[in-house]
Amino acid sequence: MRTSYFCSASLILIATCVLPSYALALPPGLLYLSEAYGPSARAFGSVAATPDPEHTGVGVNPAAGAMATASGWYATTLRVPAARVDVLMPDPAGVAAVNTTLTRDGYALAILRRPMRRGKRTAVTAEIAYRAAGRFRRVDEDGTSVHAFPDADLAVGATLSRQMSSRLAIGGSAKWLRSKYSDTANTGQSGLGWAFDTGLVFRPAERWRVGLVARNLSNGVSYPDLRLPRDPRREVVVGLARSLVLSDSAHLTLGVDARMPSARGTQGSAGASIANGDRFGVSVGYLRRVERLISSAVGADEAVLSDTRLWRAMGPSAGGWLRLGGAELSAAVSPAYLPTPLAHETHAVHEGRWQWSVGVSPAR
């Protein structure tokens, strides 16, 4: 069994060492690969060690499925509103005035999963995720045909996880990707690719968990236009969680995680979740994510340009779940990505501060 521990840990550590830190910006469509997890994990901060303890195993760690008890359909949807931010710059008199307005389309993400037990130690999960953004347009403002389509992404994949012992679970997943992306010239680009995840969950002691995940281990999506960024942001997530028994029916879980590489800044989360048996539960957390993203910039002359800068999702998150008959309903709210101010800039956010998600799964 020590050999199994060593091999599993070695695979993750090797992936950590070879992950490059890219400075390229992501097309909006590829960011959803880091967002496709359920409300329970989202409210908690998406800790790799406790994606959804002892229930569906839906989170960032593909190894968690082997430790889950639920077997059935799991559906969730995430709604990210459009972002509109005025960039204020001081004029010669020192008065702040609107220099440009940064905008990004909102999008909806729908995820459907089906975990299936294969014996006492193995689980297989089938998954499909679809993201749609923007508006479908056949003509431009002058009525000229543009044959445009909205940005859309599709991921179809499967996860295999296995309980190696009472302390160790390992897993891996593969996803086929199709991405449709409209560039700044309103030219539609359609690309294909693959993404792979691998991870483990280890229990060093009773009520402690350590999670380790390497995500998006691939070359990304290939577009016809070779100038388009295609990297689906490779990363490693390390998580630590501690469970506490408060009473016969109440349990508390504390967790923290960190994301690497950190060239774009410190990224991680922390959270606490309390559950009253199998009837209901609530979670609170705090997260910080940083991505280099592309947005539209509208200047005072109404010219539309492309702006590339770091965007941050930073702030508190909260959520809860409730059992109704044989189903469990969950919901969460968390901060959305907003642009970071550059030197001498101040920002006025008009919309796009928060994103929310809802889900339904088999009752625990």
Question: Tens digits of per-residue pLDDT, 38-90?
Answer: 777 777 766 777 655 456 566 678 887 777 766 778 888 888 888 888 888 88
Per-residue model confidence (pLDDT) at position 4: 41
Average pLDDT over residues 316-342: 89
Beta carbons of 363 and 328 less than 8 angstroms apart: yes
Per-residue model confidence (pLDDT) at position 96: 67
Per-residue model confidence (pLDDT) at position 50: 65
Arithmetic mean of pLDDT over the chain: 76
Q: Of 18-27, 286-295, 348-357, which range is least confident?
A: 18-27
Average pLDDT over residues 182-211: 80
Beta carbons of 36 and 328 less than 8 angstroms apart: no
Confidence of residue 183 (pLDDT cuts 50, 70, 90): low
Contacts of 93 (CB under 8 A, 6+ apart): none
CB atoms within 10 A of CB 205: 8
Most confident of 24-38, 122-136, 155-169: 155-169
* Domain architecture of the chain: domains with CATH: 2-362 (2.40.160)
Per-residue model confidence (pLDDT) at position 9: 40
Question: 226 versus 111: which is more confidently predicted?
Answer: 111
Average pLDDT over residues 236-260: 88
**Where in the chain does DSSP place strands (E)?**
74-80, 83-90, 96-104, 107-118, 122-133, 152-163, 168-182, 188-202, 208-215, 220-222, 235-245, 250-260, 268-276, 280-299, 304-324, 327-335, 338-339, 346-351, 354-362
Per-residue model confidence (pLDDT) at position 155: 86
Confidence of residue 112 (pLDDT cuts 50, 70, 90): confident
- Indicate whether 316 pLDDT > 90: yes
Dihedrals phi, psi of 8, to nearest 5 degrees? -65, -45
